[in-house]
């Protein structure tokens, strides 16, 4: 089954609730499945995802305080930040439509707003979120929520910084998202479960520059 989002006259890129949402060239241009990636490229292995090093790329692992489980990969690059999370998904249906609705609801509860648009990966959300840092009362921050349904996985990305407001910066961070490889593995997992992430085997801290 193709993992291309069907379009509708009402909203280009709008998917049926069960359809997969992904760029037409995903299997070639990414984000890639492990079976589609070049095995000789020098990826940084983080478990559920592999990251291709490039000059100026800084990697952060986001760790859940109580369980000490790695729950997301943060990438700082070219004035932007990209957070990625890989999830297990059904083989023949997608998760992005449902997850977009949940993100919209969560941001609304925080007092923020979202706007649905179509980007290079298909439907995406541009969110304006109230800032929570001390001294930032009344201010907001912009973030783009993007998602791609792959074979038995779903990859979510959150873009902030220059990549949320500037077209040139957006192209750079979108290329970084395209370069991510998802490693689903063969272990049975319920849909929507986070595919396990771990620190690079060569790293001794939760932050490393990979350039």
Which residues in 103-180 belong to E strands, given as ranges? 113-119, 122-130, 140-150, 153-161
**Over the stretch 161-177, which tens digit does the pLDDT of each residue have?**
999 999 999 999 999 99
For the chain, the structural domain boundaries read 30-202
3-state helix, strand, coil in the chain (%, to 5): 15, 35, 50
pTM of the entire predicted model? 0.86
Tokens of 44: 């940084």
For residue range 26-36, list pLDDT tens digits in order. Answer: 999 999 999 99
pLDDT of 55 higher than 90: yes
What tens digit of pLDDT does each residue of 4-32 get? 443 333 344 444 557 899 999 999 999 99
pLDDT of 115 > 60? The answer is yes
Domain 30-202 has CATH 2.60.120.1690: yes
């Amino acid at each position: 089954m193709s993992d291309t989002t069907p379009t509708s006259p009402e909203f280009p890129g709008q998917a049926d609730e069960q359809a997969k949402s992904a760029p037409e060239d995903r299997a070639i241009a990414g984000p890639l499945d492990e079976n589609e990636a070049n095995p000789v490229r020098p990826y940084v292995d983080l478990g559920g995802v592999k990251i291709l090093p490039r000059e100026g790329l800084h990697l952060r692992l986001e760790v859940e305080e109580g369980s000490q489980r790695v729950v997301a990969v943060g990438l700082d690059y070219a004035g932007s930040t990209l957070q990625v999370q890989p999830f297990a998904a059904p083989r023949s249906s997608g998760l992005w439509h449902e997850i977009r609705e949940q993100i919209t609801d969560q941001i609304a509860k925080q007092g923020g707003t979202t706007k649905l648009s179509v980007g290079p990966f298909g439907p995406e959300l541009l969110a304006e979120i109230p800032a929570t840092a001390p001294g930032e009362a009344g201010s907001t921050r912009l973030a783009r929520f993007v998602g791609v349904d792959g074979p038995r996985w779903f990859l979510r990305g959150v873009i902030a910084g220059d990549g949320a407001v500037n077209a040139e910066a957006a192209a750079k961070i979108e290329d970084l998202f395209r370069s991510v490889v998802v490693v689903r593995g063969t272990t049975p997992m319920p849909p929507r479960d986070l595919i396990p992430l771990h620190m690079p085997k060569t790293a001794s801290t939760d932050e490393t520059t990979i350039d």
